[in-house]
Amino acid sequence: MIDVARKAGVSRATAARALGGYGRVSAATIAVVRTAAEEVGYRPNELARSMITGRTRTIGVVISDIENQFFTRVLRGASDVVRDHGYDLLLANTDEDAVAERQMVRVMNGKQVEGLIVCPVDPDEVDHLAETLSAGRPVVLIDRTVTALQLDSVGVDNRRATHDAVSRLISRGHRRIGIISGVQPRFLARALRQESSEPAPGETPSEGRLVGYCQGLREAGLGVDEALVVDGGFHSDQARQAARDLLSIPDRPTALLTTDSLLTISALQAIRNLGLKCPQEVSLLGFDDADWASLVEPPITVISQPAYEIGARAAEFLLARIADGGAASQTVQLPTTLIERGSVATIGPA
């Protein structure tokens, strides 16, 4: 700052006011000081500035699986919006680990972020989010909701998406439709027996997708065969094995529905490893339109989520909360799109 002041021919205090945007400084002096700062290569100490202003202009994003392309696109949408508003973004990945999530949220709070966008691992364990709110930092949720806190959330209607997918498979003649899901074991029984039109408290996306699958079958007069429902977990090895096991039963399904892109590609690998043909012997319909889904043979029929828009809308909500507190919390469900390609065959009379 001394170098800048000397170059501009002003006092150090005047240079500080001109660069910091506070106090009374003429426009002409600000221009001279900024030119001098550029010439001497001055860079502000953001930590010191935040201690003076109380603002870091930084947003924290805590996601559950950075390898999932859905979250990559969500992150891009959020990043574009916050950058356009002069904010920086800090990212943390939890790998669907609730302990890691609590730790990362506390790290973000320690960094004095002005707000958080979070994909919560466990909707029942949100004390760390309540602490964040108590500290005056707004929180917006993506992909998931919690009932214990009044928070903005942005996602899709998971039940409707898989209900419509099942209806489409049934219209193509399929009756034995398997599902490979990421539902945690403690939620599995609840999802299989859920008949209410309203989501259960703390319902996860995977659970909602499984409920939609069950409701689609029941609406068509078909029972839910629990032998056709398997847990694919969150890792490719587990997902491939789950798909192999499901496709190896004596009366295997004629179609598979998978609830995220990792499960979809794992199911496709299992189909090929077993020497089966898709879609002639096993049809495949996946959740999320990953980059590779239209490039493989056959190209995969998918339920596409507006991932970029989810991230962008969440960032807009958060910036509004930071600016003025915003209105009452709201839950936004953006529409999904069923993109038909070549991985679903028609069997028997359609």
Look up the CATH number of the domain holding residue 312.
3.40.50.2300
Range of the domain at 281: 156-305
167 located within any domain: yes
Tens of each residue's pLDDT in the chain, 350 residues: 889 899 889 998 898 888 877 778 888 999 999 999 988 888 766 555 554 555 678 999 999 888 888 899 999 999 999 999 999 999 999 988 899 999 999 999 988 899 999 999 888 889 999 999 998 899 999 998 888 888 999 999 999 999 999 999 999 999 999 999 887 666 667 667 776 666 666 678 888 899 999 999 999 999 888 899 988 877 788 899 999 999 999 999 999 999 989 899 999 999 999 999 999 999 999 999 998 999 999 999 999 999 999 999 999 999 999 988 766 788 899 999 999 999 999 987 64
Determine if residue 334 is left, alpha or beta; phi over 0 gives left, psi from -120 to 50 gives alpha, anything else beta. Answer: beta
344 located within any domain: no
Nearest 5°: the CA angle 220, 224, 228 is 120
160 located within any domain: yes
Please count the other Cβ atoms lying within 10 Å of the Cβ belonging to residue 39: 12
CB 260 within 8 A of CB 68: yes
pLDDT at 63: 93
pLDDT at 52: 53
Distance of alpha carbon 139 from alpha carbon 116, whole angstroms = 5
345 located within any domain: no
pTM metric for this prediction: 0.79
Q: Which residues contact 346 (CB under 8 A, 6 or more apart)?
A: 172, 173
Determine if residue 340 is left, alpha or beta; phi over 0 gives left, psi from -120 to 50 gives alpha, anything else beta. Answer: beta
Residues 305-317, buried b or exposed e (16+ Cβ, 10 A)? bbbbbbbbbbbbb
Closest C-alpha to 322, from 126, 133, 73: 133
Residues 174, 286 within the same domain: yes
CB 209 within 8 A of CB 191: no
Residues 139, 222 within the same domain: no
Q: Which residues pair with 179 in a beta bridge?
A: 229, 257
Residues 163, 294 within the same domain: yes
Alpha-carbon separation of residue 228 from 204, 234, 246 (angstroms): 20, 19, 7
Residues 202, 149 within the same domain: no
H or E stretch at 178: strand 177-181
Q: How far is CA 283 from its chain centroid?
A: 27
Count structural domains, the chain.
Answer: 3
Residues 21, 85 within the same domain: no
pLDDT at 54: 56
pLDDT tens-digit map of 21-55: 777 888 899 999 999 998 888 876 655 555 455 56
Distance of alpha carbon 304 from alpha carbon 339, whole angstroms = 7
Residues 217, 161 within the same domain: yes
Distance of alpha carbon 209 from alpha carbon 206, whole angstroms = 5
Residues 300, 163 within the same domain: yes
